[in-house]
Structure 1
């Protein structure tokens, strides 16, 4: 289909959800040559400072004992590995020694902020790293064999199935159940990823110590996830005087996205899929922030649509609902991005101030999105916007980097600001739609 038809296609969707999302007010920079108007090395890291705080999406308690358990387990595992393994294979000894040193540093410098799911995630990763080093050492010394590793795998699968069989998506109200279950279902999905090894267990662990260690590390992370799932579920139960199961309610909500997503997707159908690309626009955008933001938002949209469908199939209903909401946000954002690009926006910035303007408008949009009522739902749907800001910013201001920013990094940074802006700009219409279609009458604000 030609470019004009694609443009007409989008213009014809005025009666859709997109009309509720507002118009882009980001700077218009027109069609410029794909060159920056300033030296990228002069772009200070201050441009990515003062980012908004993450949205508060999990309100149940996070017991301190969970992080303490991970720290203790990681030390216990690493203590079984000598500083200098001393194998005849000097390459293996060197590699295990370096892995041990790195993991010990992770343990000693581990995160310490209390009551954070992110903190638990980081400690699980450290625990997994320690298990990998220990298992590789044990395999090389002959104290860990394939049969033992297989038994660990089977026990984890069995225990995870038992946890799932008792899962009821409890909460004080629909939104409390949705927000709590969303995070726990995300963790449960990650736990299943640990169970699905992705590669066969080595038939001879001693001959394949590093492969054995990598698999054991994944299983240890799965066990750590299950430990946290159990602890968080119990803490949620103990913190509330009365909890009701919302499993059936969330199932109905998740099922609605079987229809909401395809209907909304029609607005941008021609800009999704392998055949859609930068050459479908009426202007040349190769190398511009316009091209980067288009491909970024396109990829995230397709990913969230797929994740919502997969979560529904796995009966992770809260995850399916939130991912479905994210898919709607991203579809609307993609529609906004396409319109903005066709209007001549997102060329190369000429000044550092333009980059700062992109940043400021993105931050303002994210903060406004998080204030939409009901704020718990808005916080959940604001996650893609906040993540889009944080991930690119984290890479840009990496403390260990020595090289100054280059032009490509500036393009990615501008695209991240623009993507976050449009994700945030689409939150309110989606919140309004879901509140009307899915949450009315369910006492979500109690």
Structure 2
């Protein structure tokens, strides 16, 4: 789990929530008095086995190799002991270089090739940032080069989007292929917006200069991966056709279904505190309800954004996830009303909940479409995967861990039905 350690080191505990999508992290904010004294051993939550990659064809290893080679090239241009006039800048720059170099020599150990590409883009970004900082600190002004390269990437992105026909052998494969491509396109577009961010005096602010250089490098790498995934798929499939209309129609059907289904739990989404008679403080039920209700709201909002942007492949995936999240919330409500999730939190109760979550996640392979199920189950997979390291690093409150695990179990058990529902509408 080396890449997760990279994240713990570079993002800090607060950012862990954003990475895993877990609102209940970081742990131990003082609200869980009944369980914050339960020390969880590192092995309480065992690592999970991920399903096979849902991307329909093999992802070329050359994509990651290109990022690695480019990152090494960038770092090679920066001395191990950079001679920078400002000693404080020199010290921080040297530390950044060492960290970037260490990450380049560490395996990513990601379960899916698309996730591996993401890690290598991050590492290439870090190397470019170091290189840009060094050049600025030694008197080189890259403002014009950054502006020109950003414009070039933006033009290439525009051409890519214009030619993007959502070709696939079926609507289902169109979702599996083009959802990650849509995400890459969105990331690239966000990083190539006008305005360089490059400082007027790079010597005075070399780290801002480095950030600007790193950002455009990241955008270039992101677009390259979008193009690489599309080309890899089309090279493997001889019979494809444009799937934009089927995806648009399916997305509209799912939008209607979501509006109806969400209305069944709307009353439980309008409370700052869990709307139950019993005191849930310190119980797994409190954190389970908090997570289950938050997931419904954030996924629904995410779905609306993708729909508005015309990213129908991503909208379809998130619609399926939202349906599963709504079912998990309904089960949560029924369980808490039936006095479940209210018992004392112990190491044993967390361990049992972890095992149930693992069993539920393992069962998604038997879904009607294992690839689609794997994509829909991604939020639960991310949640459970992160927890062992969070516990090991000492950030785990037992009540919240059990609540997160309980949510992952309920969500994973709802995924097969959501998968069938989406698959039927894709045809």
Match of 1:17 in 2: none
- Unpaired segments ≥5 residues, structure 2: 1-31
Match of 1:391 in 2: 386
1: CA distance between counterparts of 2:343 and 2:401? Answer: 12
Match of 2:355 in 1: 360
Match of 1:424 in 2: 412
- Aligned-pair distance for 1:86? 2.2
Partner of residue 177 from structure 2, selected from 175, 180, 183: 180
- Aligned-pair distance for 1:197? 7.8
Q: Retained in 2: the 8 A contact 1:289–1:347?
A: yes
Alignment pair present for 1:322 and 2:320: no
Which aligned runs of 4 or more in structure 1 are off by greater than 3 angstroms?
A: 112-115, 196-201, 348-351
CA displacement, residues 1-60 of structure 1 (integer Å, 9 cap, x when unaligned): xxxxxxxxxxxxxxxxxxxxxxxxxxxxxxxx9524x9633x322222242324531122
Q: Retained in 1: the 8 A contact 2:284–2:345?
A: no
Q: Retained in 2: the 8 A contact 1:285–1:291?
A: yes
CA displacement, residues 249-268 of structure 1 (integer Å, 9 cap, x when unaligned): 11111222331221111011
1: CA distance between counterparts of 2:279 and 2:65? Answer: 54
| Alignment RMSD | 2.3
Q: Retained in 1: the 8 A contact 2:202–2:209?
A: yes
Partner of residue 364 from structure 2, selected from 348, 356, 369: 369
Q: Retained in 2: the 8 A contact 1:325–1:430?
A: yes
Structure 1 window deviating more from structure 2 (313-322 vs 187-196): it is 187-196
Alignment pair present for 1:157 and 2:154: yes
Match of 1:296 in 2: 291
- Change over 3 Å in CA distance of 1:122–1:145 after alignment to 2: same
Alignment pair present for 1:439 and 2:401: no
Match of 2:335 in 1: 340
Match of 2:397 in 1: 409
Partner of residue 236 from structure 1, selected from 212, 229, 233: 233
CA displacement, residues 198-252 of structure 1 (integer Å, 9 cap, x when unaligned): 9844333332210121122122111111111112211111112222221211111
1: CA distance between counterparts of 2:283 and 2:277? Answer: 14
Structure 1 window deviating more from structure 2 (348-357 vs 168-177): it is 348-357
Structure 1 window deviating more from structure 2 (199-208 vs 276-285): it is 199-208
CA displacement, residues 84-126 of structure 1 (integer Å, 9 cap, x when unaligned): 2222211101010110111111112243779812211111110
1: CA distance between counterparts of 2:343 and 2:257? Answer: 36
- Aligned-pair distance for 1:168? 1.4
Q: Which protein has the larger Cα radius of gyration, Structure 1 or Structure 2? A: 1
Q: Retained in 2: the 8 A contact 1:64–1:114?
A: no
Alignment pair present for 1:306 and 2:306: no
Between the two proteins, the alignment pairs up a number of residues equal to 396
- Change over 3 Å in CA distance of 1:256–1:323 after alignment to 2: same
Match of 2:95 in 1: 98
CA displacement, residues 172-214 of structure 1 (integer Å, 9 cap, x when unaligned): 2221121111121122222223224898443333322101211
Q: Retained in 2: the 8 A contact 1:393–1:413?
A: no
2: CA distance between counterparts of 1:150 and 1:312? Answer: 31
- Change over 3 Å in CA distance of 1:278–1:342 after alignment to 2: farther
Partner of residue 285 from structure 1, selected from 254, 267, 280: 280
TM-score (norm 2): 0.86
- Aligned-pair distance for 1:133? 0.4
1: CA distance between counterparts of 2:316 and 2:111? Answer: 29
Match of 1:5 in 2: none
- Aligned-pair distance for 1:375? 2.3
Q: Retained in 2: the 8 A contact 1:311–1:320?
A: yes
1: CA distance between counterparts of 2:85 and 2:47? Answer: 52
Q: Retained in 2: the 8 A contact 1:187–1:225?
A: yes
- Aligned-pair distance for 1:378? 2.0
1: CA distance between counterparts of 2:47 and 2:149? Answer: 45
- Aligned-pair distance for 1:152? 2.1
Match of 2:34 in 1: 35
Map 1:14-53; keep pairs closer than 5 Å: 35-36=34-35, 40-41=38-39, 43-53=40-50
2: CA distance between counterparts of 1:307 and 1:287? Answer: 30
- Unpaired segments ≥5 residues, structure 1: 1-32, 441-446
Q: Retained in 2: the 8 A contact 1:171–1:243?
A: yes
- Aligned-pair distance for 1:309? 1.1
2: CA distance between counterparts of 1:258 and 1:235? Answer: 31
Alignment pair present for 1:146 and 2:133: no
Q: Retained in 1: the 8 A contact 2:197–2:212?
A: no
Q: Retained in 1: the 8 A contact 2:328–2:414?
A: yes
SS in structure 2 at match of 1:280: coil
Match of 2:29 in 1: none
- Change over 3 Å in CA distance of 1:278–1:344 after alignment to 2: farther
